[in-house]
Amino acid sequence: MLTFIGLGLFDEYDISLKGLEAIRGADLVYAEFYTSCLMGTNLNEMEKLYGKKVCLLSREDVEQHPDWLIEAKDKNICFLTGGDTMVSTTHVDLRLRAEKLGIETRLIHGASIASAVSGLTGLQNYRFGKSASIPHPYESRRGTRVISETPYDIIKQNAEMGLHTLVFLDIDKEKGYMTVNTALKLLLEVEEKRGEGFMHNVAAVGIARAGSEKPVVKADYTEKLKDFDFGKPLHILVIPGKMHFLEAEALVKLAGGPTGLMEEVE
């Protein structure tokens, strides 16, 4: 049996009782924290609560060489991830691999940033379009800095349909955790390169440390928000589309947004 367990948003106490029970009854426990991670804890604290040793897997262990999967044929294995267990396509692929090997799988869900964002901002979940991910820039073979323009396109397409965009920010082993500030500056760079005016001074919402006792949620126009200090990671970005008046009111009163947002409603 292979049990996928979502650990929630921030620390070791976000796990469900069902998930905790499954871990304590497991023969082996594996985890990956490259798609997401719990910033309010560490492996030692998790092991203290679980009463189990947790083997941390690399990206290669999960995506390229998941040889450890075969152990689940005759052992009870738990696989832990931050957030909800099936938000990442990587985890769906892993589950399919297990099924092909004849391994029974089970899911125990955890709180996801995809749903937490609506609660923290007041933006309604049914008004979100396709999500986007902003990777760190990379250097081409010619030595030029390359910025992905795909997230900009997704945000623009959603906005044209009046939909909000949830923007995931890159976690890179070498380059670190992308901030809301960096993400906004990259989007504005793409806009300047194209000579467009879409992203210039539209509303945006930055969130830091969702799931903690004191998460930061700040709404403002992009030119101001890109310089706001959100503090420590993890960060996530939302670009609202057309807003209902209750959504705009929530951004003003719950996220410290400018009152001008109240004039930009349906």
Q: For the chain, what is the domain count?
A: 2
Q: Which of these three, 69, 94, 111, is where a domain ends?
A: 111
How many CB atoms are located within 10 Å of the residue 213 CB?
8
Q: Is the pLDDT of residue 10 over 90?
A: yes
Task: Output the CA–CA distances (angstroms, integers) from residue 208 to 72, 114, 136, 149, 163, in the order listed.
Answer: 36, 14, 18, 24, 22
Same domain as 216, residue 240: yes
Same domain as 163, residue 35: no
Closest CA to 187 of 165, 209, 172, 171: 165
Sign of CA dihedral 99, 105, 108, 110: negative
Domain containing residue 177: CATH number: 3.30.950.10
Same domain as 252, residue 120: yes
**Binning pLDDT at 50, 70 and 90, where does residue 5 land?**
very high
The Cα–Cα gap between 166 and 130 comes to: 8
> Stretch 209-233: mean pLDDT, rounded?
96
Same domain as 209, residue 87: no
pLDDT in the model for residue 139: 82
pLDDT in the model for residue 231: 96
Average pLDDT, the chain: 94
Q: pLDDT by residue (tens digit) across 108-124?
A: 999 999 999 999 999 99
**Binning pLDDT at 50, 70 and 90, where does residue 92 land?**
very high
> Stretch 201-214: mean pLDDT, rounded?
95
Same domain as 242, residue 158: yes
| Residue 232: domain span | 114-263
Q: Is 262 helix (H, G, I), strand (E, B) or coil?
A: helix
Same domain as 140, residue 62: no
Same domain as 132, residue 158: yes
Same domain as 88, residue 53: yes
Same domain as 232, residue 126: yes
